[in-house]
Chains A and B, each alone.
Chain A
Amino acid sequence: MSEMSSHWPDPFPVVEGSAIGIIPNPMSGRDIRRIISQASVFPNTEKASMVLRILRTVGTLGVERVLLSTDTFGIAAGVHREIKRMSGARSTAHVRWPKVEFLTLERPTGTATDTTAFAETMAGQCSAAVVLLGGDGTMRAAVPGLGDTPMLALSTGTNNAFPVMIEATVAGMALGMIATGLAPEPTAHAKLLHVEVTRANGGVQHEVALVDVCVNTLGEIGARALWKADSLRELYCTFAEPHSIGLASIAGRLRPTGRHEPRGVAVRLADPSVAAHTVLAPLAPGLLESVGVLGSTELQLNVPHPVELDRGTIALDGEREVEFGPDDAVTVTLAQDGPRVIDVPAVLAASAPAWPTTRVSP
């Protein structure tokens, strides 16, 4: 507790039962785009610092408990070490940390399924919200685990259209306000793209994407990232902002569509050498490419779109994830059944009246 609190009432007493979850993805941001363009490298030490800034903020705001995912890359270990160091130093001993529970998985895989499993555990342990630090892929991996628990998506990845770049302290303020009941939870659900692949043997594979689904001619998942303009054929977007990066930027240049509009965008693409016209779009950081365009249209909710290409791969939020061939039937459907997403500026604006102020002199 701060020295002030011995003279003034604590403006944010600890709220019993309040909790949030934090999942920093240790693997984000090291893919092939470092070779093909000047994509950024986001160090794990910075992710640990972001977690600490969130912890310190929500602790100050009275959140009782934080569930933190653990990893073998030093993020959770760095957080643990720093809290211990700060608690033992006279200058920082007053910082009120929440009770941090370090979650472990019985059988970690080192893949995206760990993110799903952590999200599920946190959702099941009454977290008011789960904050994810990562890229579009990290956010997508969390969706099946979160259920109805609100998510806050902070960008630390390469090619991010979905998570936002916002200071972790400010994100922590929004989380703290929600967790302690001073701000309402988000009610609206984000849009989600559903991909259904019906295999020749009758098996059905279901995948989701938060930002874009891109059907392309590359036959292999390979290095996953997708940046070759001449391979792109069909693009489906939940939203397309003029300032987005990655595949959705194509639609963002052609037919800007907001995150909260009840529609998406579909774009038919072709090799730029044969297309009627081209659009210059930032397919990866530093990589403006000419993309061949045949046409674009509004994507209506709940209408399945059959994929026309007969062989290739499907990229979900910019990463090739599904291979398909002529015997497989693929459909893409936009729905309003994604996660509830915390909009930090909106939460802070709405909760301003609840933000306590204290008198400076008695």
Chain B
Amino acid sequence: MTQTLSTLGSDAPDASALSEAQLLDVYRTMRSIRAFEDRVHEEFATGDIPGFVHLYAGEEASATGVCAHLDQDRDTIASTHRGHGHCIAKGVDIKPMMAEILGKTTGSCHGKGGSMHIADLSKGMLGANGIVGGGPPLICGTALAAKIKGDGGVGVAFFGDGASNQGTTMEALNLASVWNLPAVFVAENNGYGEAAASTWSVSADNIADRAAGFGMPGVIVDGFDVFAVYEVAGEAIRRAREGGGPTLLEVKFTRYYGHFEGDQQTYRGKDEIQNAKENLDCLKRFRKRVADSGRLTDAQLDEVDAQVAQLIEEAVTEAKAAPVPGPEDLVTDVYVKY
């Protein structure tokens, strides 16, 4: 099915259509991601967390604004090594996530995956992914399945500016366009692939510009503004659901922490992070906007903050008390029966 001009833009989801409950949900998701990442940052410094962690703080508006349009049962997402935010936004429970990162049996993957492999297929979360550019081809698979089943499902691949240069990503963009798949590709450009500036490593002016070469629309959106992400993602997802084909979104923002925990970040400007935190922060901007327009009160938002803080505290306490996998768990969860 192709879209006609008369059907485009007529009843598009705009950010003003968010109800009070939806606004609170959006805020809760962003606050949960921020509080989760800030806590993992602290816990990692104590040495309790095995393996590497890559934190999503600063980027919350992207996962939240996109996933707010997705259903748990028919829509899927593929994530990256920086996947905690995507997991939370797609509805993966926070307590098993924290347990997974701490390597405990109560974790999402029974403590055997860790930060870079958190997955919950029951929530349509295909998994964080240690392979840079590993997610987009997976989404071609789920989007093809949705197209064949005809259930209106959409697949969303989150990937970074580094992954935008990978062959797997290019192949996925091409295949999605050739097969007219219900897929959305979200390039999260936080300015750096590890320590390489995307202004140097990405040959195009913008990642979104590459869309033209694959025969799909490419759009740039302010990644610090959840309302902007919500509206743009809503159009792209609706387009995919209705048979209009794939879209490439480029979300521009910066990360508040290093590439991984322990990264000295000598490659970043002196005031870069401080400036983003003070002037661009997605949570601060959300609070100001909804308070100025009188849609939510500070008291309502503070209450969410308190509830989230308590949940994170419980998640850490319970995860620390849980057991680690034993030798008997070594050969379980290895194969899947279809």
A: residues with CB less than 8 A from B are 26-27, 30-32, 34-37, 41, 43-45, 72-74, 217-224, 227-228, 231, 284, 286-289, 313, 323, 325
- Say yes or no for B9: interface residue by CB 8 A criterion: yes
Alpha-carbon gap, A26 to B230, bound state (A): 24
Find out whether the CB atom of A323 lies under 8 angstroms from the CB atom of B292: yes
Q: Which of B20-79 contact A (CB under 8 A)?
A: none
Q: Which stretch of B84-92, B154-162, B202-210, B258-266 is in the interface? A: B202-210
Partner of A222, one of B10, B220, B230: B230
Q: Which of B213-233 contact A (CB under 8 A)?
A: 217-221, 225, 227-228, 230-232
Alpha-carbon gap, A41 to B210, bound state (A): 11
- Say yes or no for B110: interface residue by CB 8 A criterion: no
Find out whether the CB atom of A30 lies under 8 angstroms from the CB atom of B206: yes
Find out whether the CB atom of A32 lies under 8 angstroms from the CB atom of B5: no
Find out whether the CB atom of B212 lies under 8 angstroms from the CB atom of A35: no
Interface readout for B159-199 with A: 1 if CB under 8 Å, 0 if not? 00000000000000000000000000000000000000001
Q: Which residues of A contact B206 (CB under 8 A)?
A: 30, 73
Answer whether A218 and B14 are a contact pair too, CB < 8 Å, given A32-B235, A34-B219.
yes
Find out whether the CB atom of B15 lies under 8 angstroms from the CB atom of A286: no
Interface readout for B236-262 with A: 1 if CB under 8 Å, 0 if not? 100100000001001000000000000
Alpha-carbon gap, A222 to B285, bound state (A): 12
* Besides A219-B16, A223-B235, 7 new A-B residue pairs in contact (Cβ under 8 A), listed by A number: A30-B218, A35-B247, A72-B199, A73-B206, A223-B227, A288-B5, A313-B16
Q: Which residues of B contact A287 (CB under 8 A)?
A: 5, 8-9
Find out whether the CB atom of B220 lies under 8 angstroms from the CB atom of A31: yes
Find out whether the CB atom of B14 lies under 8 angstroms from the CB atom of A228: yes
Alpha-carbon gap, A223 to B232, bound state (A): 6
- Say yes or no for B293: interface residue by CB 8 A criterion: yes
Answer whether A220 and B14 are a contact pair too, CB < 8 Å, given A30-B218, A32-B232, A41-B212.
yes
Q: Which residues of A contact B295 (CB under 8 A)?
A: 219
- Say yes or no for B12: interface residue by CB 8 A criterion: yes
Find out whether the CB atom of A43 lies under 8 angstroms from the CB atom of B232: no
CB distance from A197 to the nearest CB of B (A): 12
Q: Which residues of A contact B8 (CB under 8 A)?
A: 36-37, 287
- Say yes or no for B294: interface residue by CB 8 A criterion: yes
B: residues with CB less than 8 A from A are 5, 8-10, 12, 14-16, 18, 199, 205-206, 208-209, 211-212, 217-221, 225, 227-228, 230-232, 235-236, 239, 247, 250, 289, 292-295
Q: Which residues of A contact B12 (CB under 8 A)?
A: 36, 228
CB distance from B39 to the nearest CB of A (A): 30
Find out whether the CB atom of A30 lies under 8 angstroms from the CB atom of B208: yes
Answer whether A43 and B235 are a contact pair too, CB < 8 Å, given A31-B219, A220-B14, A323-B293.
no
Alpha-carbon gap, A31 to B14, bound state (A): 15
Q: Which residues of B contact A222 (CB under 8 A)?
A: 14-16, 227-228, 230-231
Find out whether the CB atom of A34 lies under 8 angstroms from the CB atom of B199: no
Partner of B227, one of A36, A45, A221, A228: A221
Find out whether the CB atom of A36 lies under 8 angstroms from the CB atom of B235: yes
Q: Which residues of B contact A313 (CB under 8 A)?
A: 16
Q: Which residues of A contact B199 (CB under 8 A)?
A: 72-73
- Nearest 7 CB-CB pairs, A to B? A219-B16, A220-B15, A222-B15, A34-B217, A222-B231, A30-B220, A44-B205
CB distance from A155 to the nearest CB of B (A): 18
Alpha-carbon gap, A35 to B219, bound state (A): 7
CB distance from A111 to the nearest CB of B (A): 9
